[in-house]
Structure 1
Amino acid sequence: MAANATLVVAVAILLATAVYLNTLPADFAYDDNRAIVSNQDVRPTEPLWGVFANDFWGTPLRHSGSHKSYRPLCVLSFRLNYLLGGMSPRSYHLVNVLLHAMVAALFAWLAGTLFAWAEVPTLLASVMFALHPVHTEAVAGVVGRADVGACAFFLLALVAYMRYCESRDGGRIESKLHRRTYLRTTLGLAVASMLTKEHGITVLAVCAVYDLLVAQRCNLADIVNLIRSKRKKGLHLEGIANLACTAVVLLSLRVYLMGFSPPTFSSSDNPAADDRSLLARTLTFLYLPVVNLQLLCYPKWLSFDWSMDAIPLIRSFRDPRNVLSLFLYAVLSFIGSRLFRAVNARADITCNVNNNNEPCQCETNIRIDASVLGMAMLVLPYLPASNLFFYVGFVVAERVLYIPSMGYCILIAIGADYLYKNIPSIKYIWLATLVLLVASYMARTVQRNEDWLNEESLYRSGIAVNPPKSYGNLGNILSQAGRKSEAEQAYRKALQHRPNMADVHYNLGLLMHEQGRYDEALESYQLAVQYRPTLALAHLNIGLILVILGRKYEAETVFKHTANIDGTGLKDPKLHEATKTSALYNLGKLYADDGKHRLALKVFERAVATMPPSYQPQSLFNMIGETYARMDNLTEAERWYLQALKVKPDHVPALLTYAKLLARVNKSADAERYFRRAIELRPGDTASYRHFGQFLQDRKRYRDAASVIVKAARQVPYDFSTVFAAASALREAGRNEEAESLYRKAAQLRPRDHIAQLNLGAMLHVNGKLAEAETAYRAALAMRPDDAQALSNLAKLNHLLNKQAQRSSQQDSLNQRQTHQPQGQQQRRRRRRRRQQTPPLPPAPLRGASAGESEQAQKLRETLHPPPGESGRQNRRRTG
């Protein structure tokens, strides 16, 4: 029974779309982050030529660390996505789903053409391809668009070549007019397929197989004689010659673009390729096709990554997995030999039909032709990933099977149709089995899509297959979500499985660095450097911790070394160069903080001269301006502050430092405008409020200053320095009761800080709460017995208490005498005592105290610059 072509194509489109609808809410995951989110080539602000000069990940193709993956058409599609929807993942996923539906429709049409629209094989092949779970990585992962897009061009090229063959061999009326158009279209689409993903070039080989073994019905002898034959000279060889020439040109161009050097991969990417044992390499590479075929036949165990030890190397003939390898190649040899004999033995059998009396192929020839093309589409597109011609940067990659799976679906459909027609007794059982198979494919695909919704679920799903990489990447996600304890556990589990992962050691160090566990962080960074000496980020953060620990000489040495690490062969040279610039920034800052301003400026000049184009220099420019300001060269300071704001107009540290400079030269109105701009940009940033408050205090606008700094204290009610500053501002504004409340809070936050107790005592003293003031003074003296101010204030307080006690005693005796004196005489005595009474001694002026005030000033100064190692502390590295 013939299938309705429109219905089959419609069913394929519907199923391919429906089964992937649950990927639309998904985030970017795994490789999406590097290929899209952090890839500058995706952004329209970057020059378009960069798409054609860089690899898929944004690294220059000729750089020694380039992946050498050249997919400019795919990157252009990401760029178009960005133009239409920015960085919203939904639009990217929608394009992937629609593209998969288009490929499913093209494949359904191809299957129908191969099977002469026979109902069972056409429908089965089309539905299997639309629903196969192994496609989830290619469709649900946005970077899989390279495979889906290459497959679309692959199918269009193959269909165009089939039309070319029909027109060439006289099977179509328009053959004379359209033959060369079809051929040129084929070649153009083949180029597009290769420019979308590398193995798209294999469509040229598939077209050649189709031409020789299907269109021209050649056997082995015919293929040998065809080259020598003068029969139809130029016609039979025209297509093959064009395919071969195009392949040679494309391969030559590809090698040229790579700079005539192959890519380099880490040993964890493809362990077998880096193993010294020839036996281990051979046996493992022979086994990998078994794993790929297993993924096609039984797609239960799927993983986002199969590198590292996901598939242990086969080092001995005694390994039982060798049996599976032997079985696979035995089956392939058997099928190949039977197919070869069938091709050689088949005859041009035709049967006349009523529609225009055109010849049609018999069922056997249809099956042979479909088998030939199915085997070609299964084997040939897989060969570039087989490590047969060159080593690749992965062990197994599910998305690489997207194109070969078409051949698999065709072959399964052929076998199913054969059994269906030749064993009538189990026809309905067989149909029920096929329906169950398709239903299981759909359920597994929908389930697997759920794993790709976010990175946490994706990495958790990969633990069973690849524990070290899964745990390592899971730790990054948990850490970013603030689940620090879980993140640390994940990192440590990753290291239990594979202790030499430099990225995981680095990320664990970063986690402990953020928690203030500096000694542990230092140890982790040092292990990262031990396993990967070129990991500049780890070197940088070692220097930052040494600065925190006060080991400045060692930090200086580390920063100098980091700035000179060679980036040859690194995967991410842009990040490496940016980190080297950050090392120079921190080295210059170290010199500037030590008062070595001229030396600092020399380092900063080198940083500016060598920084890569991708580096964001606003912090560097701001620090140069601050250094000039410390040298009282205000003109140069202003120039660099304005440079920082030109690069990034909303850079709050530069706004604050420039505002302070304007205040310094008495441009108060302009300074206030920049302070308010900083607060507007970061309403939740307490540093901006505190700087502005300090500015207002310096101009004796105490009430305004108090209002501003109190806002900061409300945002961080547990930050001692901010609460202390707010209390001092309230005191200066005359709001003594509110100041007392915040001084009490500051003392609670740091009960062992003698400055907090001293200032609380002084405020209580001023407010007349003398007993509590005495308690606070004595608490301060218990922590620092020789504090002169505390001793002075306590002496004044005691003097006042003694005077009060004396007056109270005198008052009691007077009261007794006054009962015997006339009323007028009592009033005259009271007025005389008031005139003679000595005023109480006030406490010494409240000090923001040497410790408290200096800490406050230091924190204010530090907020003018980014946290140490702006490029280091904020870059978690994906495991692998």
Structure 2
Amino acid sequence: MDNSQKYITISVAAFICYCNTLGGTFVFDDNEAIVKNKDVMPYTNIWNIFKNDFWGTDITLNSSHKSYRPLTILSYRLNVLYSKDKLDAFQFHATNIILYGLLCLLSVPVFELFLKKSKYATNVHDIAFLSGLLFTVHPVHTEAVAGLVGRADILSSVLFFVIILLYQKVRNSTGECTVFWFTVVVVLTGCAVLCKETSITVVICSCFFYGLLIIFVLRTILRNMNWLTEEKLFSSALDVCPLNAKVHYNIAKIAADNNNKAVALEEYRKAIQLNPKYEQAMNNLANLLREDKKFEEAEVLLRKAVDVRPNFAAAWMNLGIVLTNLNRSDESEHCYKMAIKYRNKYPDCYYNLGNLYLDLKRNENALKAWEMAVLYKPNHVAAWSNTLVLLDSMKKYDEVIELGRTALIHNPKAPALHFSYANTLGKLQQFEKAEGHFLEAINLNPTNGLYYSNLGVLYHRWGKKDKARQMYTKAVQIDPNLKSAELNLKRLTKEAQ
């Protein structure tokens, strides 16, 4: 078998082993490192990838994972650019397979290099080929190829193999050539480290036993099937580790995300049974129970969670929400403040605290809480909307206009903000501006009957009765239970008689 046939064989073997991953989605850590990582998207400043860790967190923060792989993130970014700014899982998986094929091809000359150094080696080229083929089909590589975060391993390994081969150039060259090749090796080493930190070291294993090839191919293909979806991945983990609380937690989380509440409840309970101090499972289970209005049971779980981890800010906030539903306002306020104590920049907690103050008719306190919410999260539409509605009810129209502009700068596609802003403009008889924002709200959310109804009120005040009638009619068609639109339509009909 000549060299070209050997390389074709390895390429085909790599493709056969991993072609079934092309239909896979983003699973497990792919969601954190790619889907939720803004550094992957072209609209984010490219220099951020050199300031943040592999998961998109500022690497200087204590909460950072400290895994620094900017060149791997850059490769993800190129996938997104190629897919026209979309997260196309097929493109990501295809790239992984291509890079893995390149790695497998490089393994042959690397094996040849080491075999030639042994005085006992015979049939060096054939042994290197078979070793490379065994390397290609070995199922241990499944996670690195089928899991998209494994690209860090593939990229660093490709560069490391290249470095090993080029280092021979350094040893065999003289004069200026030595400097040149040494410089290339140093640069590529730096690039390898920027793909994954562990590439600072390498262990190359060679294997024997032709019979293993078929077994490895089959095992690799089967293992790939577990990486096609998160459900399959975590279910396979359950087969291996049925008494692992983390596995049950992961299955519950996926079930909850897929609105399979029964499975989620069961698996969260199993996780807590296996690990009675599993505070994150307690928190998530409590949230599901809260949705079913089982507030007392949710309270018990959340109190256990904060006992296990007193600085668990999310559990404190969720406990505050539960206590609000139980009409225990003082305790609820305390819980929100505890959450903020442990996580100062916590917009959702400030939002919920503001809602509590609103229920208690402590309007100024509510406004201050929502102000903090939008300070830390300018795209917190609910906090902006509540602020505008409350200020409007307090007849502080100038503040509504000022804050409304700011809110819409940060959230130009939020229909609720356009709607609230338009209502205030209408009260100030700025009819044309109000009409524009009502129409924008309807354009963004054409199935909300209240938007049509209030636009009808605007036209009614404006003297455009035909348009008012159209809007009232449309509102009633969308929402037959919208009594205000129905009454206004009757009133308009009487005026016309």
What amino acid is the match of 2:134?
M
Q: Could you tell me the TM-score, scaled by structure 1's length?
A: 0.51
Counterpart residue identity of residue 426, structure 2 = A
Structure 2 Cα separation of the partners of residues 484 and 648 of structure 1: 32
Question: Could you list the runs of 5+ residues in structure 1 that have no partner in the other structure?
Answer: 168-174, 204-376, 378-406, 417-433, 567-576, 714-722, 736-880
Do residues 196 (structure 1) and 202 (structure 2) align? no
Structure 1 match to 2:150? 144
The residue number in structure 2 matching 1:102 is: 102
Query: Shift of the alpha carbon at 1:696?
Result: 2.8
Code of the aligned partner of 1:55? D
Q: Once the two structures are superposed, what CA deviation does each residue of 1:662-712 show, in whole Å capped at 9, x if it has no partner? A: 22223445434433322322334xxx3124325536848466424313313
Aligned position for 1:599: 365
Specify the SS of the correspondent of 1:463.
Answer: helix
Secondary structure in 1 aligned to 2:479?
helix
1:153 is aligned to 159
Alignment partners' CA distance in 2, 1:616 and 1:732? 34
The AA in structure 2 aligned to 1:682 is N
Instruction: Letter of the 1:123 partner, please give it.
Output: F
Q: Partner letter of residue 180 of structure 1?
A: V
Check if 1:437 corresponds to 2:212: yes
- Are the structure 2 counterparts of residues 649 and 608 from structure 1 closer, same or farther at C-alpha, using a change threshold of 3 Å? closer
* Amino acid in the other structure paired with 1:160: L
Report the counterpart of residue 124 of structure 1 in structure 2.
Answer: 130
* Cα 1:535/1:132, change in 2 over 3 Å: same
Quote the residue 2:477 is aligned against.
Answer: 710
**Residues 36 and 42 of structure 1 are in contact (CA less than 8 Å); yes or no, is this contact kept in structure 2?**
yes
1:447 Cα offset (Å): 1.2
Instruction: State the secondary structure of the residue aligned to 1:19.
Output: helix
Q: 1:690: which partner in 2?
A: 450
- Provide the residue aligned with 1:163 in structure 2: 169
- Give the match's secondary structure for 2:23: coil
Q: CA deviation at 1:96?
A: 1.0
Q: Which residue of 2 aligns with 1:582?
A: 348
CA contact 1:702–1:729 (8 Å) conserved in 2: no
Q: What's the CA shift for 1:21?
A: 1.2
Structure showing greater radius of gyration is 1
Instruction: Answer yes or no: is the 8 Å Cα contact 2:144–2:150 preserved in 1.
Output: yes
1:468 aligns with 2:235: no
Superposed CA offset, 1:540-598 (max 9, x none) = 122222223322222221112211115xxxxxxxxxx65x2221222233324433233
Structure 1 counterpart of 2:288, which letter?
A: L
**For the Cα contact (< 8 Å) 1:617–1:644, is it kept in 2?**
no
Q: Does residue 38 in structure 1 map to residue 68 in structure 2? A: no
Shift of 1:5: 2.5
Question: Cα distance 1:608–1:534, how it changes in 2: closer, same or farther (>3 A)?
Answer: same
The residue type equivalent to 2:477 in the other structure is V
Q: Is the 8 A contact 2:104 2:132 kept in 1?
A: yes
How far off its partner does 1:176 sit? Answer: 4.2
Which letter does structure 1 place at the counterpart of 2:260? R
Deviations 1:435-487 (A, max 9, x none): x3111111111111111111111111110233322221111221122211122
CA contact (8 A) 2:313 2:338 kept: no
The C-alpha deviation readout for 1:340-392, integer Å capped at 9, x for no partner, is: xxxxxxxxxxxxxxxxxxxxxxxxxxxxxxxxxxxxx2xxxxxxxxxxxxxxx
Alignment of 1:187 with 2:186, yes or no, is yes
Q: Which has the higher contact order (CA 8 A, sep 6+)?
A: 1
Equivalent residues in 2 for 1:490-509 (5 A)?
490-509=267-286
Q: Quick one: which amino acid aligns to residue 95 of structure 2?
A: V
Specify the code of the residue in structure 2 equivalent to 1:710: Q
> 1:712-791 counterparts in 2 under 5 A?
712-713=479-480, 723=481, 725=482, 729-730=485-486, 733=489
Q: Residue by residue, what CA displacement relative to the aligned partner does 1:74-128 show, whole Å, maximum 9, x if unpaired?
A: 1221222222222121211111111111111111221234345635422221111
Alpha-carbon offset, residue 607 of structure 1: 4.3
1:482 to 259, 278, 296: 259
1:493-642 aligned within 5 A: 493-565=270-342, 580-607=346-373, 611=376, 616-642=379-405
Q: Which residue of 1 aligns with 2:426?
A: 663
TM-score, length basis structure 2: 0.88
Shift of 1:31: 0.8
Q: Give the letter for the 1:629 counterpart.
A: D
C-alpha distance in 2 between matches for 1:27 and 1:164: 43
Tell me, yes or no, if the aligned pair for 1:617 and 1:647 is still in contact at 8 Å.
no
The structure 2 residue matched to 1:65, chosen from 63, 66, 72, is 63
Give the 3 Å change call, closer, same or farther, for CA 608–730 of structure 1 in structure 2.
closer
Tell me how far apart the structure 2 counterparts of residues 594 and 673 of structure 1 sit (CA, whole Å): 35
Distance in structure 2 (CA, Å) of the matches to 1:548 and 1:159: 67
2:349, 2:488 → 1: CA distance? 42
CA distance in 1, matches of 2:269, 2:453: 45
Q: 2 CA distance for matches of 1:729 and 1:650?
A: 25
**Contact 2:455 2:471 (C-alpha < 8 Å) held by counterparts:** no
Q: Within 5 A, what are the aligned runs for 1:334-353?
A: none
Is 1:654 the equivalent of 2:420? no
Q: Hey, which of these two has a bigger chunk of helix by percent?
A: 2
CA deviations over 1:203-248 (Å, ceiling 9, x no partner): 5xxxxxxxxxxxxxxxxxxxxxxxxxxxxxxxxxxxxxxxxxxxxx
- Asked if the contact 2:30–2:147 (Cα under 8 Å) also holds between the matched residues in 1, the reply is yes
CA contact (8 A) 2:234 2:251 kept: yes
Question: In the TM superposition, what whole-angstrom CA distance separates every residue of 1:147-189 from its partner, at most 9, and x where no partner exists?
Answer: 111101111111111222233xxxxxxx445222222211111
Cα distance in 2 between the residues matched to 1:691 and 1:515: 30
Aligned length: 474
1:611-636 residue CA offsets vs partner (Å, 9 max, x unmatched): 27xx6344433333333323322111
Deviation at residue 657 of structure 1 after TM alignment: 1.0
Shift in CA distance, 703/40, structure 1 to aligned 2, threshold 3 Å: closer
Letter in 2 for 1:462: A
Query: Where in structure 2 are the equivalents of 1:191-230 lying within 5 Å?
Result: 191-203=190-202
Q: Distance in 2 between matches of 1:625 and 1:133?
A: 58
For 1:592 and 1:127, locate their aligned partners in 2 and report how far apart those are by CA, in whole Å. 68
1:28 Cα deviation from its structure 2 partner = 0.7
Specify the code of the residue in structure 2 equivalent to 1:501.
Y
Is the Cα–Cα contact under 8 Å of residues 67 and 197 in structure 2 kept in the other structure? yes
Post-superposition CA distance 1:719-762 (Å, at most 9, x none): xxxx3x35x75466469xxxxxxxxxxxxxxxxxxxxxxxxxxx
Contact 1:672 1:692 (8 Å CA) reproduced = no
C-alpha displacement of 1:606: 4.2
* Letter aligned with residue 597 of structure 1: N
Q: Is the 8 A contact 1:509 1:524 kept in 2?
A: yes
Q: 2:233 aligns with which of 444, 451, 458?
A: 458
Inter-partner Cα distance in structure 2 for 1:470 and 1:71: 27
In the alignment, does 2:451 pair up with 1:674? no
